[in-house]
Structure 1
Amino acid sequence: MPGREVVRRVLAVAGMLALGFLTVVGVVHGQPVAAPVTTPPTSAGAPREALDVAAVDALLATRARAVSDDDRAAWAGTVAPVAQPLQGQVFDRLRVLRPVRWTYTRVGEPVRAGATRMRVDVRLTYELADGGPTVTRPQTWVLQLDGGPKVLSTASTATPDLWDLTPVVRRTANARTDTGDARCTVVAAASRRPVATQLVDLCPDVLDTVQKAVRAPGADRAPVTLVVPQDVGQLATLLGRTDPAGLDRTAAITVGVAHQPAEAVLINPEAFGQLRAVGRRVVLTHELVHVATRAVEAGGTATVPTWLDEGTADEIAYAATDLDAETIAGPVLDQARAGRYPTRLPTSAAFDATGAAPDLAYAQAWSAADTIEADKGVAGLLKVHRLVAGGTSLDAALQQVLGTGTAGFVSMWQQHLGRLVQNP
């Protein structure tokens, strides 16, 4: 499966689970709990009867229907006795989600793991809301064969979902806006209900702002999933990271497969909770711009430079506030006042939250995007973004929209910074 692409919003305004396939895995109060399952090694004298692939496929179908039908008894009927307590907890978390689609598909042939067990690779596919992104997760299941296949464990082999880590709550915002229906699904750790409520209250209005700015087919049909982990440690796990370095300064992150609609926006509850109301609005608007542009540009062939992607999101986010340029882009304006104007656009590495000056990179990105907006409006800025995503070089895209290539644009940017210094 293609890797998940990550875009993040660093605060500028105020992996995977290590589960062996022979382990019954559950989570209690956010902590992994493992009950070992001993698997006898395969030997020459072990039974070699053919694996019943049809029975495995029937098991997968029954499990999927149990989730869709909220049928706990049917789910329990697919589980080996030793795994009932932990698999029961898994089901209780899934039933909170109320997904509109939930399917399991066998990938390849099952592999015997001893005399009475088999291992099978499975692809989970789900949608949490009508029209929302289709998400896939690879898993490895271990089945007990005695009396027909029964589930012993269902370990994720990629980044997990929040409900794999902790009990969750689901909140939904459905509101009519000027540009269509605003649809937000919030899935939050049960301990983060207050943040979930804040997001549900804020999301429809922010979606309206974004849809008015990104007026393109697809932007108004992009349901949003917001995921709120319990803490920065869980945020790192959801990103497939073992080290949370830099995430404490990251308020939100949009994730998904490159060139496809976003899967979700991950919210750092600690950083997000430190923001004032205007900061929360800016962060959420910024991320939903990413969601909207990804929906419009799905199927593109090129990666948009980080400065253009982040600058576009910030330009639209800050335009909906009364914050001035000094507040938004202080670091780059301070340098300009000292006569140090940027001579090149910021690299992707400059935005790393663990780096020396991500705030400067974001200030440069916003001011560069603002340079395009000041000359050609937000429509011109979005056109540059779409052209680059579609495979046009940055130099050619700037030439098409602004009438000048990258070198000329840097000169325009310097002049724009000079005007901002004079009239912040």
Structure 2
Amino acid sequence: MAGQGCGARRSATACLLALLLALTGLVGCGAKAPAEPASRQAQELLDRHARALLDRDEPGYLAALDPSYAPAALTVYRRLAAVPLDGWTYRVTGVDPTGTDRLTARADLGYRLRGHDRRPVTGARVLDLVRRDGRWYVTGDRPAEGAPRQLWEQGDVVTVRGTRSLVLGVGTTTARLREIAAAADRAVPAVTAAWPGDWARQVVVLVPGSLGGMGELLGAPGASYRGIAAVTTGETRGGPDAPADRVIVNPDAYGVLGGFGRQLVLTHETVHVATRSATTPSTPVWLSEGFADWVAYRGTDRTPAQAAPELRRAVRAGELPARLPVDGDFAFGGDAEALARAYEGGWLACALIADRWGETKLTAFYRAVGAHPARDGAVEQALREVLDTTPEQFTADWRTYLEERLG
């Protein structure tokens, strides 16, 4: 699913929702200083702090830290040596005095990975500052409430570079990370064959040490993703400025899959990375998840009966769906079988388009839906202009297709 992401069978996919990450403007250390004096001073301090981190200037990095906080901050600084950073910025968004010569700064942290990110990944942070002898120092740095924790805050980072992938892991073996990198490397050309448009043709994968660690990276309880093998984070706003994606693996669910399942998950999630700039709030989840599954199954020997077991059981029991899945059908934490049927229904809707109208029409349909200025009317217009059909006829054709393939 991704943000969709792909769930345990899948992306995690089935694969997952899209988690929205706020995006800063520039990566570097020259964010525009706020006008208010305390905010400006905080920004100047954090600019120097960021510059020292990027330059691997440990004395300069320490110069911004209160001695009480230095040991914890240095641990993160040293872990980041294994991460190929190409940018690191703080953009102060507000300050709150917390006492004499003390304040709390709210800031957006933005970072880029060298050779992989066109735009930064960002997360909201809260930094505690203290003033001593007329100078400000950092005494604490933590995620804002509900914001994601960073991988390097969870432990020592191991980095594995594939030919088309970068895998960063904590609390797992190098062998496992290499296996994931190999699957991601295979996924990229498979996705490119189905989606030949402009995309980076590489993928960044984060592998935390536990389900709880996965939840921290997503800013949500880990239990929400139990059974979900992987998730792709990103902002579904479309366009060339869409921020960088991360595929986040659930080591528990991913680990119990066989070779085919693992490849399916990584390919599904890579589709979300590739299609990010064309995926917008106008894109229904059935289309984004269904297309990702269609690409993942494309070229395999899996039959609809094998790939859509829950929907097959429903069809054979006389419970043919009356409509295409709606976004709410893809919510996690509810009925696992209903969730599976939603993913399977989306996949078979995309398979129907590819079979009847052709693969080129399927990708054109996806782009047309995402290019619409609003959700209302997006699918209807694309059905009419790209496929020369109506929502009612398409739904009827889809229901017939389910009966033919699964009955």
- Give the TM bin, normalised by the shorter chain: 0.7 to 0.9
Separation in 2, partners of 1:170, 1:70? 18
Q: Does 1:164 align with 2:153?
A: yes
**1:99 — aligned with what?**
85
Q: Does 1:155 align with 2:134?
A: no
Separation in 2, partners of 1:376, 1:65? 53
Per the alignment, do residues 190 and 70 of structure 1 end up closer, same or farther by CA in structure 2, a change over 3 Å counting? farther
**1:179 — aligned with what?**
none
Per the alignment, do residues 353 and 156 of structure 1 end up closer, same or farther by CA in structure 2, a change over 3 Å counting? closer
Per the alignment, do residues 57 and 240 of structure 1 end up closer, same or farther by CA in structure 2, a change over 3 Å counting? closer
- Provide the secondary structure at the position in 2 that maps to 1:225: strand
Separation in 2, partners of 1:145, 1:136? 27
The structural deviation recorded for 1:186 is 1.4
Q: Does 1:68 align with 2:51?
A: no
Could you give the per-residue CA deviations for residues 154-179 of structure 1, whole angstroms, max 9, x where no partner exists? Answer: 122122222223322222223xxxxx
1:382 aligned residue (354, 363, 367): 363
Separation in 1, partners of 2:385, 2:305? 30
Residue identity opposite 2:371 in structure 1? G
Residue identity opposite 1:213 in structure 2? A
Alignment of structure 1 residues 246-257 onto 2, 5 Å: 247-257=225-235
**2:4 — aligned with what?**
7
Report the aligned-residue RMSD: 2.3
Separation in 2, partners of 1:192, 1:11? 21
2:250 aligned residue (261, 264, 268): 268
Per the alignment, do residues 396 and 200 of structure 1 end up closer, same or farther by CA in structure 2, a change over 3 Å counting? same
Separation in 2, partners of 1:387, 1:125? 31
Contact 2:116 2:203 in 1 (8 A): no
The structural deviation recorded for 1:120 is 2.3
Q: Does 1:59 align with 2:45?
A: yes
Residue identity opposite 2:204 in structure 1? T
Per the alignment, do residues 57 and 354 of structure 1 end up closer, same or farther by CA in structure 2, a change over 3 Å counting? closer
Q: Which runs of 5+ in 2 are unaligned?
A: 14-35
Separation in 2, partners of 1:262, 1:54? 28
Separation in 2, partners of 1:261, 1:155? 22
The structural deviation recorded for 1:316 is 0.6
Q: Give the strand-richer structure, 1 or 2.
A: 1
Identity within the alignment, %: 28
Could you give the per-residue CA deviations for residues 283-333 of structure 1, whole angstroms, max 9, x where no partner exists? Answer: 1110111111113x16x4x33111111110001100132212211012222
Q: Does 1:119 align with 2:98?
A: no
Per the alignment, do residues 53 and 254 of structure 1 end up closer, same or farther by CA in structure 2, a change over 3 Å counting? closer
Q: Which runs of 5+ in 1 are unaligned?
A: 15-49, 175-181
| Higher Cα Rg, which structure | 1
Alignment of structure 1 residues 185-200 onto 2, 5 Å: 185-200=166-181
2:352 aligned residue (338, 348, 371): 371
TM-score by length of 2: 0.84
**1:25 — aligned with what?**
none
**1:395 — aligned with what?**
380
Contact 1:195 1:269 in 2 (8 A): no
- Highest RCO, 1 vs 2 (Cα 8 Å, sep ≥ 6): 2
Separation in 2, partners of 1:67, 1:237? 23
**2:29 — aligned with what?**
none
Per the alignment, do residues 87 and 368 of structure 1 end up closer, same or farther by CA in structure 2, a change over 3 Å counting? same
Separation in 2, partners of 1:95, 1:415? 56
2:207 aligned residue (228, 234, 239): 228
Contact 2:211 2:222 in 1 (8 A): no
The number of aligned residues is 368
Per the alignment, do residues 239 and 373 of structure 1 end up closer, same or farther by CA in structure 2, a change over 3 Å counting? same
